[in-house]
Amino acid sequence: MRAATVCALMFALSPLVIASADYESTMGLVQKIFYYHMPSAWMFLVSGLVCGVASVRFLITGDARHDRTAWAAAEMAVIFGLVTIVTGPLWARKAWGTFWIWDARTTSSLVQWMVAWAYLILRKYGGPGSEKLAAGLALFGTANVAFIYVSVNYWRTIHPPTSVVPKLPFTMGFPLWYCVAAFTLLFIVLLKLRVRLEEQRATLDSLYLSMDEQG
Amino acid sequence: MAVVTRTIAAFFLTVLCATALLGAAQAPPAPGQPPPRQSEYTPIDQLPPQDQLPAAPLLIAAYSFVLMVFFLYVLSLARRLTNVQRDVDRLGATLKQSKS
């Protein structure tokens, strides 16, 4: 509850922090989409990693707790991915003159988002045993995370390279790291809530089983 | 099962349509090419409407969309949690009654 309050306060103050950031010389006002776009993109990648790691642990140990974490992380990937995939083109329309280009980063991000959707559809409609199939799918998504991150350094694209962030001046770096902290906190709060939902569903299933046993 | 098939078909149809729309978007100018030399200066309000692209609406749209997505997701999560908790409480009470 305390983390959720801090997170809400950080988001409430974020417009002030972002407004204090310097304008970028060539893109001007529209570049300020960056302060929500990039943290959500990072959380999108983190969701993919968490989903993959939890899936590996589930496949090795068979512990349902890891499966619940993987399922929750896949839903986070869909939400943060949606934010990334919508805010990026709004920025690109002004900065690049087009909503979308099929470069390595945008294409692989779209693939990653569809993998997260596929994971959720498989869990919802796959029936018994779908958790192991979904875990395998999550591994594919995790491999794609690394590809998305380094794609801008190895392939020809108009996305800026990863070296842009470390070189940011303080007036632009502070708002960015502030938003990264807010989005990280939001990710943790939402993930915990989503895991709790799966735990409650597991409790509900065990209660139904108890009722069946009692006849 | 028919509902599942229809849902999955609708999802992939949506993705295909979105992909086709995105693909139809205009390609950006090749990087590295210098912009054409200007022979005259034109005030922005004299440009045709499709060439006047103010940043503020895009910025407002982006921030509004982000806040709306998270607000709706939190609402959906709260609703699902409440429903499951209510079912757990109801079944727990039923089990207790049947034991006693």
Contact between chains at B61 and A90 (C-beta distance less than 8 A): yes
Q: Is residue A99 included in any domain, yes or no?
A: yes
- Domain of A188, in residue numbers: 2-21+32-207
Domain membership flag for residue A215 = no
- Dihedral sign from CA coordinates of B73, A53, A40, B24: negative
* pLDDT 10s digits, A68-89: 999 999 999 999 999 999 999 9
Across the interface, whether the CB atoms of B81 and A210 are under 8 A apart is answered: no
Q: What is the ipTM of this complex?
A: 0.90
The pTM of this model reads 0.81
Residue A173, in any domain of the structure: yes
* Predicted pLDDT of residue B27: 45
The B residues from 50 to 69 touching A (CB cutoff 8 Å) are 53, 55-56, 58-59, 61-63, 65-67, 69
**Does residue A26 sit within a domain?**
no
> Is the pLDDT score of A194 beyond 70?
yes
Average pLDDT over residues A44-53: 96
B15, B23, B91: residue with CB nearest A114: B15
Whether residue A152 is contained in a domain is answered as: yes
Of B24-28, B45-49, B89-93, the poorest mean pLDDT is in B24-28
**Total number of domains in chain A:** 1
**What are the extents of the domains in chain B?**
54-100
Q: Is residue A213 part of a domain?
A: no
Chain A contacts in chain B segment 11-50 (CB below 8 A):
11, 15, 22-23, 25-29, 31
Residue A43: per-residue pLDDT: 96
DSSP string, B3-65: HHHHHHHHHHHHHHHHHHHHHHSPPPPPTTPPPPPPSS---GGGS-GGG---HHHHHHHHHHH
- Chain segment A89-115, per-residue pLDDT in tens: 999 988 888 899 898 999 999 999 999
What's the pLDDT at A49? 96
| pLDDT value at B35 more than 80 | no
Residue B1 binned pLDDT confidence (cut-offs 50, 70, 90): very low
Confidence of residue B52 (pLDDT cuts 50, 70, 90): low
